[in-house]
Structure 1
Amino acid sequence: MAQKHLSIFIPASIIAETKDLRIRTYKVGLIGRSAAIYKADRIVVYSDDSTKEEVKFISDVLTYMNTPQYLRKKVFPLTRELKNVGILPPLRTPHHPTGELSLGDYRQGLTIKRTKKGTMVDIGAERLALCKEKLSVNKILSFKVEKIAKDNILIVPDIPEFYWGYKTISTYKNIYQSIRMLDPKPDLVIGTSRYAEPITSVLDEVKERLKGSKHTAILFGGPYSGLHDLISDQKEREVIDLEVNTVPSQGTKTVRTEEAVISTLSVFNLLSNAD
């Protein structure tokens, strides 16, 4: 079965409601955790009248979360923006291993230096591993463990077929432009809105569209502007294939974006796996 892909679009304005860095970090952490639970491959952070600093903050926190613990200190300098990352929930995905290294394991590794034999890579083991290929230095890549000996660990570049975390894309563009520039292009774009048809009334159509989609993109609005405000031009709205309300009969006046993400992804996960 061909692997299906899922991208979610998040507005940078989700953190505009507060200046508190701890709360901002926590809100972004909820989105990263939700994306990992429901196997989103990409998180696209778009600008909806937000600042470049807000876009970058969200992107940096999401990228930090997705980076294996054993590489974080080497990749991320301690900055004011990342001082609260200790409150982030762990992803506990396959690329964040907690056990001993075993033959056949997949690991993400940071390329440290090139030698005559190849490239030395930090994969979170007691010593650096050797990849016999000449690779660019200071890059995080994925590898498979081919040999574990007393004097060396041999690895080869490889990406597993199972879920391997998400990629964060910060576009600094509006949502319409962000959709158009996504590569590979989604073949099904779903908008979420409280003004749309309740998903319960279009379940069969949603299930059928999901079944035929290889790359689904789900769009979320922000605390100040919903999708109808962000994509108001009729021609631009044609980029959306389907629009649904995934929290019908909500008990609160508003549903925050981070709440909408986990609610929506939960619904679509059930529909994607239904017979």
Structure 2
Amino acid sequence: MSAATAISHNKPTEPHKSWKKINEERKALKRQRKQDKALKDLKRVQELAASAVNETENGKAASKPNPSTVSIAVPGSILENAQSAELRAYVAGQIARAACIFRVNEVIVFDDVGVTTARETKRIYEQDDADNNGNGAGKATSTVRSSSLQLARILQYLECPQYLRKYFFPLHKDLKYSGLLNPLDTPHHLRQQSKFRYREGVVCDKQAKEGHSYANVGLLNDVLIDKALEPGVRVTVKMEPSSDGSRKQRGTLVSPDEPRRETGVYWGYQVRIAHSLSEIFTKSPYDGGYDVMVGTSDRGTSVQNVPNQSIGYNHALIVFGGLQGLEEALANDEKLTVDDPQLLFDHYINVLPKQGSRTIRTEEALLIAMAALQEKLQPQQADVECDLSDLLPRSEDTGIPMARDVLVSKKKKKKLVDNTESNEIQPAVIATKLSPTPAVPRRPNPFNEHKRAEVAPQSISMEADFEVVSASTGHTAAVNENQNDDLSRFD
């Protein structure tokens, strides 16, 4: 007992600490941990910034140039030549279809009538949108012709993917008959089950972490993007590969030109409104404007005289006239002082020299001109050639999984049942077909006098179904037969 007591007295005893000192040490340790964490975060941010700068420099060094573009300009007055609202919408749908078929990158809707001759049909663009949305009157900053505004709105509506239209296009009378129009079926109108690296989307108002946003890109779940944007903005998202550990689908915001530049896929067109013919050239969205401008008219040079691949371009513009042609559009433009529209263009071409109709409608001229100029144009930067047939949906791919039995109609099912029953009795039919049957001699045509005279009477068999007799003989025989047998007489 004494030894244990001695050992306990020999152990060094720590001085007693008050609770105040203990709390101060804890606070100091916590402060030190916060400083270490802040230093680590700062170091990480600096590394990310340095890597982003390096990637940007490397991307600029190895970035691909944007492919050459084709723009078309059509007058909005072509809708006024239609007889009903349904036909006006259908004409706009034809313009959109032709633009997508020939991979047009920009569609310009210009006014070829002018303010002085069509003042009563003008209306305020912002006022029109305010009246339809119910937000009150807007300020009269600019006026747009009603037909041009309707054509531009329908073109934008058809270009937008179906799952995004409810976000950008409220109910409007210009879109009343948009359901009658044929879908464009462009590559960026992706189905839900399509797995492509780029998608069009809209920023949602769903709460996300700082510096990020959620976007609806046509999938079951929203995609987390790497930028914080206001809701309702249309974006182009590059989809990242999904990781096994995370359920969230992530994406990166890219330029709308990147899908076409990287993969060569046609990614739709942009729509622009020009108030006159001169604004087509002066308000070009490209740096340096359009380098090649082509005008179409029946007074131009024949397209057959233009050599193939002789028109080199980087940003080409093809202008189409309205009901009165480009000459009337030039006369209604007060800013242009030239008298001949041929002076405005590098090439003034007649795309169909020997036309059978007196006039060619603009929607028809668009298809004819784009088809005729395909071999004449030579882009400086061609599209990238990639095989994307397995990634992009086809026209017959509706996106609705259906069983094979559903696809088979009742008519086909009945035909299959009939074929099955006929196969059971097929051996008897084959045996009947194999048995020889006596050949029935061919009779001459009773209405051909020359052939009937050449055939001998002995060649006609007595076992035939009928005999060719004269009309008087046949009538006499029928009368005698009726007299002998009263039961065969009929009225």
Q: Which residue of 1 aligns with 2:364?
A: 259
Write the deviation string for residues 216-274 of structure 1: whole angstroms up to 9, x where unpaired.
00000001x21122225427843311100001101111100000011111112233379
Question: CA 1:151 to 1:2, structure 2 compared with 1: closer, same or farther past 3 Å?
Answer: closer
CA distance in 1, matches of 2:330, 2:268: 29
Q: Which residue of 2 aligns with 1:112?
A: 204
CA contact (8 A) 2:192 2:219 kept: no
CA distance in 2, matches of 1:34, 1:120: 34
Q: Which residue of 1 aligns with 2:328?
A: 229
Based on CA coordinates, which of the two structures has the bigger radius of gyration? 2
**In the alignment, does 2:160 pair up with 1:67?**
yes
2:299 maps to a residue whose letter is Y
Which has more strand, going by share of residues?
1
| Displacement of 1:14 | 0.7
Q: Which residue of 1 aligns with 2:271?
A: 168
Question: Could you tell which deviates more after superposition, 160-169 or 177-186?
Answer: 177-186
Write the deviation string for residues 187-234 of structure 1: whole angstroms up to 9, x where unpaired.
000000011111102235xx322x2x10000000001x2112222542
Q: Which residue of 1 aligns with 2:432?
A: none
Q: Which residue of 1 aligns with 2:280?
A: 178
**In the alignment, does 2:202 pair up with 1:138?**
no
CA contact (8 A) 2:96 2:158 kept: yes
**1:22 alignment partner, SS class:** helix
Unaligned runs of 5+ in 2: 1-64, 123-144, 332-336, 380-491
TM-score normalized by structure 1? 0.90
**2:188 alignment partner, SS class:** coil
Unaligned runs of 5+ in 1: none
If asked which structure has higher relative contact order (CA below 8 Å, sep 6+), I would say 1
CA contact (8 A) 2:72 2:319 kept: yes
| Displacement of 1:99 | 5.2
Q: For this pair of structures, how many residues does the alignment match?
A: 267
**In the alignment, does 2:296 pair up with 1:192?**
yes
| Displacement of 1:85 | 0.8
Which has more helix, going by share of residues?
2
CA contact (8 A) 1:101 1:125 kept: no
Question: CA 1:59 to 1:229, structure 2 compared with 1: closer, same or farther past 3 Å?
Answer: same
CA distance in 2, matches of 1:267, 1:16: 27
CA distance in 1, matches of 2:165, 2:74: 24
Write the mapping of 1:93-108 to structure 2, written as runs, cut at 5 A.
93-98=186-191, 100-102=193-195, 105-108=197-200
2:367 maps to a residue whose letter is I
- Structure 1 moving runs of 4+ over 6 Å: none
Identical pairs, percent = 27
**2:354 alignment partner, SS class:** coil
CA distance in 2, matches of 1:140, 1:236: 42
**2:232 alignment partner, SS class:** coil
Q: Which residue of 2 aligns with 1:215?
A: 315
Q: CA RMSD in A?
A: 2.0
**2:344 alignment partner, SS class:** coil
Structure 2 counterpart of 1:77, from 141, 150, 170: 170
Write the deviation string for residues 94-116 of structure 1: whole angstroms up to 9, x where unpaired.
111135142x5211101112632
CA contact (8 A) 2:226 2:253 kept: no
Q: Which residue of 1 aligns with 2:75?
A: 11
